[in-house]
């Protein structure tokens, strides 16, 4: 299927930093990925971003073919691209972390957002949306979601290419691309997990003996929770390590659709059931958490039920401002 840019539903439209759609609706097809990747290449050149581009993907069925197409275009454009060394799924936070490290996080001068050699990234994910969907988002050198100025520029250029030129964009066949000097291997999991102890007091968590249940909801964090537990000796259990592109194990959301929305009581029904106290008032875990498909959203479940994520974030922010070592009280 080839999209018609004259049809609004078939154009590239960026939402929360990314384009989303279904190939079944001619809204997320090869032409979209070629055009959007080529537009990102042009955009990063206008911004002087010429470092490594970190790319990851989640567990949606459309993510791997889109990831492969993007690498073909990036290699054709001469962009050095970092892929996962394990050939595994990559959570958005792991991609963001790699961008920040490449741009100076952890150094005395801190993260750079200007100058030569800046890194950026792409995450192939439709986030928490249904299995039929695909998604493609851009993270600039600050590591977070691209702002509307960036996404508007990229979408406009991508739609120009959809109208004329996407089929002439230079590509390198995926096998050749992966074997080229433009594609480098990067251990996203090791880099992310090893650095956690520099921002989280994992010793306090370990010594407290808190029992944690982590449900990846079939998403990209599936290998990360176990690695965190093993590295830091935490009492953490991966509740459901299943990866199924159809998400047949998921409970239906409020509208009858499968959606990996960890803030939804319906989508989190299985984990809520696990955390419901038994006749003796006991639960298998003290606290449990779930993530969406690319793991940039969280849901926290206690014996009292699913917490409102925004309420939790407010408490977390207050805690950081009052307890974070080396942060001024003001």
Q: With CA atoms as reference, report the closest residue to 211 among 285, 303, 300.
A: 285
Phi and psi of 138, rounded to 5°?
-115, 135
pLDDT value of position 325: 81
pLDDT value of position 36: 99
pLDDT value of position 330: 72
Question: Domain boundaries in the chain?
Answer: 8-191, 200-323
Contact 236, 244 (CB under 8 A): no
Instruction: Please give the sequence-ordered ranges of beta strands (E in DSSP) within the chain, or none if there are none.
Output: 18-22, 53-57, 81-84, 120-124, 133-139, 183-186, 212-215, 236-238, 287-291, 298-302, 305-306
CATH class belonging to 8-191:
alpha beta
pLDDT value of position 329: 74
pLDDT value of position 326: 78
- Please give the Cα distance from 180 to 18 (Å, whole number): 28
- Judge whether 8-191 and 200-323 match in fold: yes
Please state the separation of Cα 293 from the chain's center in Å.
Answer: 8
Structure tokens at 308: 């409102």
Residue by residue, pLDDT tens for the chain (330 residues) are 899 999 999 999 998 779 999 999 999 999 999 999 999 999 999 999 999 999 999 999 999 999 999 999 999 999 999 999 999 999 999 999 999 999 999 888 889 988 999 999 999 999 999 999 999 999 999 999 999 999 999 999 999 999 999 999 999 999 999 999 999 999 999 999 999 999 999 999 999 999 999 999 999 999 999 999 999 999 999 999 999 999 999 999 999 999 999 999 999 999 999 999 999 999 999 999 999 999 999 999 999 999 998 999 999 999 888 888 878 777
CATH class belonging to 200-323:
alpha beta
Give the residue numbers marked as catalytic. 127
pLDDT value of position 328: 79
Instruction: Give this prediction's pTM.
Output: 0.95
Cβ neighbours for 164, distance < 8 A, ≥ 6 positions apart? none
pLDDT value of position 327: 81
Structure tokens at 147: 């702002």
Sheet with 18-22: strands ordered across:
18-22, 133-139, 120-124, 53-57, 81-84, 183-186
Q: How many CB atoms lie within 10 A of CB 169?
A: 18
Cβ neighbours for 282, distance < 8 A, ≥ 6 positions apart? none
Q: With CA atoms as reference, report the closest residue to 92 among 298, 294, 263, 299.
A: 294
Structure tokens at 18: 């990314």
Contact 169, 78 (CB under 8 A): no
């Amino acid at each position: 299927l080839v999209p018609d840019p004259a049809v609004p539903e078939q154009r590239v439209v960026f939402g929360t930093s990314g384009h989303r759609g279904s190939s079944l609706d001619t809204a997320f097809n090869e032409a979209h990925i070629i055009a959007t990747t080529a537009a990102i290449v042009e955009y990063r050149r206008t911004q002087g971003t010429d470092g490594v581009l970190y790319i990851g993907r989640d567990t949606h069925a459309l993510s791997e073919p889109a990831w492969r197409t993007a690498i073909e275009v990036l290699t054709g454009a001469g962009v050095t691209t970092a892929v996962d060394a394990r050939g595994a799924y990559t959570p958005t936070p792991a991609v963001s972390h790699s961008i920040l490290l490449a741009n100076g996080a952890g150094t005395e001068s801190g993260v750079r957002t200007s100058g030569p050699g800046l890194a950026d990234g792409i995450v192939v994910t439709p986030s928490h949306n249904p299995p039929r969907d695909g998604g493609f988002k851009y993270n600039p050198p600050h590591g977070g979601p691209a702002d509307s100025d960036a996404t508007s520029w990229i979408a406009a250029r991508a739609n120009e290419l959809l109208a004329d030129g996407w089929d002439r964009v230079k590509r390198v066949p995926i096998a050749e691309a992966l074997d080229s000097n433009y594609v480098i291997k990067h251990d996203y999991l090791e880099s992310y997990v090893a650095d956690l102890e520099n921002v989280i007091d994992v010793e306090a968590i370990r010594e407290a003996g808190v029992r944690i249940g982590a449900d990846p909801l079939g998403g990209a964090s599936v290998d990360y929770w176990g690695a965190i537990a093993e590295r830091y000796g935490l009492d953490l259990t991966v509740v459901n390590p299943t990866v199924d592109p159809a998400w047949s194990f998921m409970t239906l959301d409020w509208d009858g659709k499968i959606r990996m929305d960890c803030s939804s009581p319906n989508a989190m029904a299985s984990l809520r059931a696990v955390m419901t106290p038994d006749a003796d008032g006991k639960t298998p875990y003290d606290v449990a958490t779930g993530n969406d498909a690319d793991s940039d959203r969280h849901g926290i479940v206690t014996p009292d039920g699913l917490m409102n994520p925004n309420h939790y974030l407010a408490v977390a922010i207050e805690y950081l401002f009052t307890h974070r070592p080396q942060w001024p009280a003001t």
